[in-house]
Structure 1
């Protein structure tokens, strides 16, 4: 029998009987994946960073010092951000393994160091997951977190709790877009993103995708997850803002004809920062895995150009080292 969406609510535009969908039109051309893979191989993309991988890693990586109890945010590479605010510690999309893949010997490999392992993390209260792609939901990392921090609450998109149930991981809450839940005095709201989901060839868009807004004692943090650009996302600022700190992706955007519906480029990331009304943002989703055709060192350069054109500074939209931190 064909699979039917057990969460289907015909009153919600992003629900379908078969799963979930974006509110924006699909812009990927038919056969696009095959064409992209062919062009990528012919053009030998992605190319190494201009100064090579070792020099890139020396420039952009450091060990993460997560000691102490001060309010701070750390970028731990790719989409993994650690936020500590007034005694509450939150971790986003934890991927601390060596590959973004279901296989240990194949798939996108980490090009830069892991700045801290699970054993080196402080006590985690909440783990938020944006969607089920392997570069955002890493089975080994999630299992290690659940073992070390059994009281941690995992917040996941609608339809993803069954994956955690099968993995034997408890303390899981799944939310639809614009639904909220309270954990230790903080309110977490699952907000839209323009993306998609799948972990196999047979489960495309059967679980939802999105970002998270944490509101804790008047401090609001928006984790955008993975997203293409949409002016509809400005609603996040209107409904859940103002946003004190955001984590917005800037990498894995090339070629635009194939990636624009799922990943913003640096200029669009700056536009999202402005659309949503973020006071400060951290650039994420670059510098670790080569998931698209852009060179690892291209996103920070283009972000600088986009900020200058928008009249913003690096203090408005920050480039941290992998393992780097900012005080809150």
Structure 2
């Protein structure tokens, strides 16, 4: 499949399940078939991505480390939803991708247990934060795959990642030209997913995404404001901005996420659902990430 070949474009189908995520992942009937990719939401920006025999996680936050860190502060980071699965409940894992160093995306309370439980698993991280990633994963440098915007790296057999710079809320680079905030285009056998990490619009982003013509865009929708930014909580796309990026970036569908975990940094699910109804009426496929639902891209 060539980039932008709409005639053979995969379709995204939602599947509801009534078991735990652990049992769902253990059930061989839910595994992706040849040429398919399956997705499950972990809360916040986290997803399980399965392709062929491989399992990836992106930005998993499966602990309470932020609640412990910020207990008694203005933003206590208490969970509004429990982690749908814990690190020791996973039966296998090949790769973890972290888009940047913030704890809800690169969480020591999640990554360290995973590194121990799965000693062959590797970690894709921005080259700009390799030293921090080593500490947070407590894994040797040999287990890290350091990447930067503009590259294309094979992370598994037949699966490539192409990072795109993100602005959180600023578009930053270090002295070596590496971007600390990244989004990832994951190309799994020709099925392309774009996960922006934490990001706001900036000139050239739509064009950078459109080059890859992702089939599905996984985008945060919790927005931003002066109160959050002024208290050390940099923001993300608004719902309008996320939909605009997905459409103008050539995505065939969008899954809205990064809501519903912290009460000071979220958006109402009803607001997302109303937008989904509107977009579908206008011919654009859109979903809200939620527990008890998976997606099959085929």
Contact 2:199 2:235 in 1 (8 A): yes
1:63 lines up with 2:34 in the alignment:
no
1:264 lines up with 2:230 in the alignment:
no
How many residue pairs get matched? 256
What TM-score does the superposition give when structure 1 sets the normalisation length? 0.69
Q: Determine the C-alpha separation between the residues in 2 that align with 1:139 and 1:102.
A: 13
Map 1:130-279 onto structure 2 (within 5 A): 130-167=99-136, 168-170=138-140, 171-184=143-156, 185-195=158-168, 208-239=180-211, 241-254=212-225, 258=229, 262-279=235-252
Structure-2 change in CA distance of 1:166 and 1:114 (3 Å): closer
Structure 1 residue ranges, 4+ long, deviating more than 6 angstroms after superposition: none
Please report how far the alpha carbon of residue 121 of structure 1 lies from its aligned counterpart in structure 2 after TM superposition: 2.1
CA offsets, 1:228-252, max 9 Å, x none?
123521123333x221222110115
What TM-score does the superposition give when structure 2 sets the normalisation length? 0.76
Contact 1:95 1:138 in 2 (8 A): yes
What is aligned with 1:81? 47
Q: Determine the C-alpha separation between the residues in 1 that align with 2:294 and 2:168.
A: 28
Q: Determine the C-alpha separation between the residues in 1 that align with 2:257 and 2:147.
A: 23
**Matched position secondary structure for 2:185:** strand
Q: Determine the C-alpha separation between the residues in 1 that align with 2:229 and 2:70.
A: 27
Q: Determine the C-alpha separation between the residues in 1 that align with 2:46 and 2:282.
A: 23
What is aligned with 2:3? none
**Matched position secondary structure for 1:236:** helix
CA offsets, 1:19-51, max 9 Å, x none?
xxxxxxxxxxxxxxxxxxxxxxxxxxxxxxxxx
Between structure 1 and structure 2, the one with the greater Rg is 1
CA offsets, 1:114-136, max 9 Å, x none?
11111222422111111111221
Please report how far the alpha carbon of residue 218 of structure 1 lies from its aligned counterpart in structure 2 after TM superposition: 0.8
Structure-2 change in CA distance of 1:164 and 1:255 (3 Å): closer
Structure-2 change in CA distance of 1:104 and 1:118 (3 Å): farther
Please report how far the alpha carbon of residue 253 of structure 1 lies from its aligned counterpart in structure 2 after TM superposition: 2.9
Q: Determine the C-alpha separation between the residues in 2 that align with 1:281 and 1:256.
A: 28
Q: Which moved more, 1:161-170 or 1:283-292?
A: 161-170
Unaligned runs of 5+ in 1: 1-60, 198-205
Q: Determine the C-alpha separation between the residues in 2 that align with 1:91 and 1:138.
A: 12
Unaligned runs of 5+ in 2: 1-17, 171-177
Map 1:311-322 onto structure 2 (within 5 A): 316-322=285-291
Contact 1:243 1:278 in 2 (8 A): yes
Contact 2:59 2:106 in 1 (8 A): yes
CA offsets, 1:125-181, max 9 Å, x none?
111111111221111100011111111121111221112334531310211211221
Please report how far the alpha carbon of residue 288 of structure 1 lies from its aligned counterpart in structure 2 after TM superposition: 0.9
Between Structure 1 and Structure 2, the one with more strand by share is 2
Q: CA RMSD in A?
A: 3.0
Q: Determine the C-alpha separation between the residues in 1 that align with 2:236 and 2:292.
A: 23
Q: Determine the C-alpha separation between the residues in 2 that align with 1:92 and 1:326.
A: 15
